[in-house]
Amino acid sequence: MNETIAAISTAPGTGAVSMIRISGPDAFAIASSLSGQDFSNIPGYTIRHGDVRENGKIVDEVLYSFYRAPKSYTGENVVEISCHGGVYITRKVLSLVFGAGAKPARRGEFTERAYLNGKMDLSEAEGINDLINARDSVNAVSAVHSMKGSVKRILDPLVESLTQILAQIEVNIDYPEYEDVEQLRDEEILPKAEKWLEQINQLIDTAEKAVMIRSGIDTVILGRPNVGKSSLLNALLEEDKAIVTEVAGTTRDLVEGSVRVGNVTLNLIDTAGIHESSDRIEQMGIERSLKALKEADLVILVLDSSQGITEEDRKLMELVKDQEYIQVYNKADLNQIPGTVSISAKNHEIQPLIEEIEKRFAEGIAAAGSDTLNNERQIGLAIQAEEAMSAAISELKEGAEPDLVTIDLQKAWESLKEITGEAGRENFLDEIFSRFCLGK
């Protein structure tokens, strides 16, 4: 932690200006040595104009921005050097910063220091990363909320009621005669625990839907040969990506593309027409299609309106029956079947399909726009907490020893706290006992 680290903080490539960030105890001394000015007593939030020099010779004209600990992004002394944005000059300035004593920062190390110095919790740090990687407003809005503490705010009431339950059991074990504090009676504990379980299940469910919608719905376009799967892919992507011909068995390999339609992003895979084939290459394509199918969030099963439902179509329906799937009747320009999701891929008339997708995923779309848990790590920990609480509830019902119940409740507590990176037994005991002045 005591080393001074540095890295280029702007994107690689040529730009008007680049920024090199230096954080740690030697940051001001390094800036002084590069510039030939004495910055040792400079106040925080100050910008100075100066040069970067090597052996007295000018390398670049720059701006130095100073942040004095603890008021900085990392909580340490920070200097940002804004130099001219050429690839060579940026790297040159960085190498001089290293020459003056800084060590190369690892990926995420500035933010890691910010976390370790108490500037943010883990979920907020993840929010920063999500914000940087956000490619649409749904992702950007949820990321900025999470950067500003939404995850902690969501978890706070769950942590609070769990702490109450735990404190109650602890009090009952250690101080059965203690009556001074507001106490839950034993028979109140179980309903409280069950309500808690319901709430966390709800949270997990919403978060899973949100994460899926935000990352895009992994969608497989499936159907027998020649029904118009590739034509549908092209219509959705608004691009002639896959080859379309009147010959059955045109698509052999998987063709992929992502597109934003309506309120969702679809990560599309067009597949080889599925049927019994003796062609070796086609068979391999079909195998790949079936593998992609297993991992899909959504299957679009394409049917040919001009031919009606065939035996092969029925086999495919059977194949996907346990998955989220939409039957679409393509080639509606030749024959429209009432009461079906009818499209004409060839003519790019696919609005009914888009509306059906939005309808199917309405809950997920709403979840994606709400504040919830934001990634698999957070959801995984919430599931751990949920499992521990389920175990505790069974034990409560069986009248198990309170000590045993406590162990599971404590696991639940720690899993929740790990989401924001505040876990640890010390914190746990502090939080439990800070609210009861026991033993006084």
Ligand X SMILES: Nc1nc2c(ncn2[C@@H]2O[C@H](COP(=O)(O)OP(=O)(O)OP(=O)(O)O)[C@@H](O)[C@H]2O)c(=O)[nH]1
Return the structure tokens found at 14.
């040529």
Q: Using the structure block, give the residue that is written with the tokens 């990176």.
A: 421
Q: Tell whether residue 80 is among the known ligand binding residues.
A: yes
- Please name which of 12, 14, 33, 13 lies closest in space to residue 22, comparing C-alpha atoms: 33
- Contact partner, 202, from ligand FFO, ligand X, Mg ion, none, Cβ < 5-8 Å per class: none
Q: Using the structure block, give the residue that is written with the tokens 């109450």.
A: 164
Which long-range CB contacts under 8 A does 418-423 form with residues at least 24 apart? 418/381, 419/122, 419/123, 419/151, 419/155, 419/373, 419/377, 419/378, 419/381, 419/382, 420/121, 420/122, 420/123, 420/124, 420/151, 420/152, 420/155, 421/115, 421/121, 421/122, 421/123, 421/125, 422/121
Q: Check binding of 65 to Mg ion (CB under 5 A).
A: no
- Contact partner, 228, from ligand X, Mg ion, ligand FFO, none, Cβ < 5-8 Å per class: ligand X
- Contact partner, 70, from Mg ion, ligand X, ligand FFO, none, Cβ < 5-8 Å per class: ligand FFO
Q: For the CB of residue 69, give the shortest distance to ligand FFO in the complex, in Å.
A: 9
Question: What gap in Å lies between CA 142 and CA 108, rounded to an integer?
Answer: 20
- Contact partner, 116, from ligand FFO, Mg ion, ligand X, none, Cβ < 5-8 Å per class: none
Residues of this chain that interact with ligand X (CB under 6 A) are: 223, 225-231, 244-246, 248-251, 273, 330-331, 333-334, 344-346
Q: Tell whether residue 31 is among the known ligand binding residues.
A: no
Q: Tell whether residue 235 is among the known ligand binding residues.
A: no
Q: Tell whether residue 246 is among the known ligand binding residues.
A: yes
Q: For the CB of residue 348, give the shortest distance to ligand X in the complex, in Å.
A: 9
Residues of this chain that interact with ligand FFO (CB under 6 A) are: 67, 70-73, 80, 119
Kindly indicate which of the ranges 91-99, 223-231, 294-302, 314-322 contains the residues binding Mg ion, using the contact rule CB under 5 A. Answer: 223-231
C-beta closer to ligand FFO: residue 72 or 374:
72
Task: Write out the binding residues for Mg ion, residues 246-265 only, by CB under 5 A.
Answer: 250-251
- Please name which of 166, 150, 182 lies closest in space to residue 378, comparing C-alpha atoms: 150
Kindly indicate which of the ranges 17-25, 205-213, 228-236, 415-423 contains the residues binding Mg ion, using the contact rule CB under 5 A. Answer: 228-236
Question: What gap in Å lies between CA 350 and CA 362, rounded to an integer?
Answer: 18
- Contact partner, 333, from Mg ion, ligand X, ligand FFO, none, Cβ < 5-8 Å per class: ligand X
> Burial of 91 by CB count in 10 Å (0-12 exposed, 13-18 middle, 19+ buried)?
middle
Question: For the chain, how far is it from start to end, CA to CA, in angstroms?
Answer: 40
Is the peptide bond prior to 338 cis by the omega test (within 30 degrees of 0)? no
**What angle, rounded to 10 degrees, do the helices at 109-116 and 122-133 form?**
150
Beta strands 5-8 and 17-23 are: antiparallel
Residues paired with 54 in a beta bridge: 57
Question: What gap in Å lies between CA 58 and CA 66, rounded to an integer?
Answer: 21
Kindly indicate which of the ranges 43-51, 245-253, 293-301, 417-425 contains the residues binding Mg ion, using the contact rule CB under 5 A. Answer: 245-253
- Contact partner, 375, from ligand X, ligand FFO, Mg ion, none, Cβ < 5-8 Å per class: none
Q: For the CB of residue 75, give the shortest distance to ligand FFO in the complex, in Å.
A: 7
Out of 146, 150, 168, 230, point to the residue binding Mg ion (CB under 5 A).
Answer: 230
User: Can you say which residues are annotated as belonging to the binding site for (6S)-5-formyl-5,6,7,8-tetrahydrofolate?
Assistant: 21, 80, 119, 440
User: Can you say which residues are annotated as belonging to the binding site for K(+)?
Assistant: 226, 245, 247, 250
Positions in the binding site for Mg ion (CB under 5 A): 229-230, 250-251
